[in-house]
Amino acid sequence: MIRRSALLAALLLAGCTLPGKRAPAPDAAAVAPPPAWRTALGPGAPIRADWWQGFGDPQLTALVERALANNVDVLTAAARVEEARAAEALARAQLLPQIGGTVPETQGQTLTAFGTTSRAIGAQPGVTASYDLDLFGRLRQASRAARAQLLATEAARDTVRLATAAAAASGYITLRALDQRLAISQATLAARQDALRIARRRFEAGYSSRLEYRQAQGEYAATQQLVPAAQLAITRQENALSLLTGDTPRDIARGLALDRIAAPAIPDGLPADLLRRRPDLYQAEQTLVAADRTLDSQRAAMLPNLSLTGSAGLVLSTALAQPQAIFSLGASILAPLFDGGRLRAQERAATARRDQAAFAYRRTALTAFREVEDALAGVRRTREQARALEDQVAAVRGALRNATNRYRAGYSGYLEQLDAQRNLLTAELALVQTESDRLTAHVALYQAMGGGWSPGEVQAVTERR
């Protein structure tokens, strides 16, 4: 058996060079949040893995599940996982011996002592085997790199699934908000139509000027154009959701109204370690691992490679009285002597890719912290904004009733009622948008936190701290 140290010494004497000192990974590979970042768990329901059910709308749940089952991007990501799984199996197969069989047949003529010829038919069935000893771990590191790449591809698939679920949930919320905008526009249009009728009667009776009548006509037309605009937006949103679920354009089933969709409870704090469950962060981590293993494999390619080959078989022929057994066994050493700097350049390229993966991991981690903070702020601030808008709508609605009564009794002009109608329409549309933003902020929070976790997972991470 050839000793590794003796082999290295012999190859060094022959002129082979070993790779230099490996460049360390950049410090960007390690990213830690601030010490006080989201460490204490407060009251509130923990986030669930099936977070979309927390909104309490069965149609929203059905839409998300349909998107996860039929979305084209999700299916494509699953196919990429199968490709990565095959690549990982191929890398593992390189570590095993390669065995093959041959059955060549030969035909010829032989000349006898009496000058006659006879045909001789022969065959040499046999088995060949080859095995790479992989002294310096080139194949092992390549197999580990393929395994890490498989894990990264699976995480990429989970990232696509999470983004698809979030897009379906937020798209449904947007659709219900558009339905609410359409209902408000239609109700306002009915009120403007009634105001236009009263203005026309007052103008015809001589109780008001033509100006008031023209103003009522203009406001009615301005409100009338809001209806087809809302209907167009609804159609486009339904088409977008149909594409998301892998269907042709169709009507989307509705469930609860926008103001009845529940906002799931959010814990006051979550351990920062839970962010490691984000699929994009895990993908970046495994991509870094794969790049590091590829660097090790590339460095091992600069070292000698020892391969064993062998074959065995039988010689069968009509010219032989008995079959003859044959076999061979050998070893070969392949070492780079001069390659024009190709291996060195490949090593530097692998080192640069490893560093790029480390910086990408840092960027993904910092982005995760930012997205969680943005989503938490969005949930909190939109809730405060919605409460203020609810008070505004109630106040403006009361002002409109007073202005309408005064106008019909002849105590005030139409302009006072018109201003109250405009203010109410603006406040109602703003409230619908804020309610939509508030629910969408919950969706963004679940997406930022990797899709949520069960209570047991939250407790397990907390206990490890």
Q: What is the DSSP code string of 337-405? A: S--TTHHHHHHHHHHHHHHHHHHHHHHHHHHHHHHHHHHHHHHHHHHHHHHHHHHHHHHHHHHHHHHHH
Sequence-ordered list of residues with C-beta below 8 angstroms from that of 76, at least 6 positions apart, any chain: none
The per-residue pLDDT string of the chain (465 residues; one tens digit each, 9 = 90 and over) reads 344 444 333 333 334 444 555 666 665 545 555 444 444 433 344 445 678 888 889 999 999 999 999 999 999 999 999 988 888 888 877 777 777 666 665 555 555 554 545 554 555 566 666 656 666 667 777 777 888 888 888 888 888 998 999 999 999 999 999 999 999 999 999 988 888 888 888 787 777 778 888 888 888 898 999 999 999 999 999 999 999 999 999 999 999 999 999 887 776 556 566 677 788 888 888 888 887 777 766 666 655 555 556 555 555 555 555 565 555 655 555 556 555 677 778 778 878 888 888 888 888 888 888 888 888 889 889 999 999 999 999 999 999 889 888 877 777 777 788 888 889 999 999 999 999 999 999 999 888 888 765 555 556 555 555
Domains and CATH numbers, the chain: 30-96+139-303+344-464 (1.20.1600.10)
Read off the tokens for 415. Answer: 């302009």
Q: What is the largest CA-CA distance in the chain?
A: 142
pLDDT (0 to 100) of residue 420: 87
- pLDDT number for residue 135: 60
List Cβ neighbours of 156 (8 Å cut-off, separation of 6 or more): 77, 80, 279, 280, 283
Q: Could you tell me the sign of the dihedral formed by the alpha carbons of 435, 54, 274, 84, in that order?
A: negative
Tokens of 91: 């890398």
State the Cα–Cα distance between residues 19 and 30, nearest whole angstrom: 26
Mark 41-79 as b/e (b = at least 16 C-beta within 10 Å).
beeeebbbeebbebbebeebbbbbbbbbeebebbeebee
Cα 86 to its chain centre, rounded Å, is 21
3-class SS of residue 310: strand
The angle that helices 414-448 and 210-224 make with each other, rounded to 10 degrees, is 20
Distance CA 21, CA 397 (A): 76
The b-or-e profile of 343-352 (16+ CB within 10 A means b, else e) is beebbeebbe
How far apart CA 402 and CA 416 sit, in angstroms, is 10
| Alpha-carbon gap, residue 50 to 52, rounded angstroms | 6
Q: What's the predicted TM-score (pTM) here?
A: 0.77
Select from 310, 361, 343 the least CA-distant residue to 98.
Answer: 310
Q: Confirm if 31 and 132 have CB atoms less than 8 A apart.
A: no
Which token pair is 204? Answer: 């015809």
Torsion sign, CA atoms 68, 72, 78, 80: negative
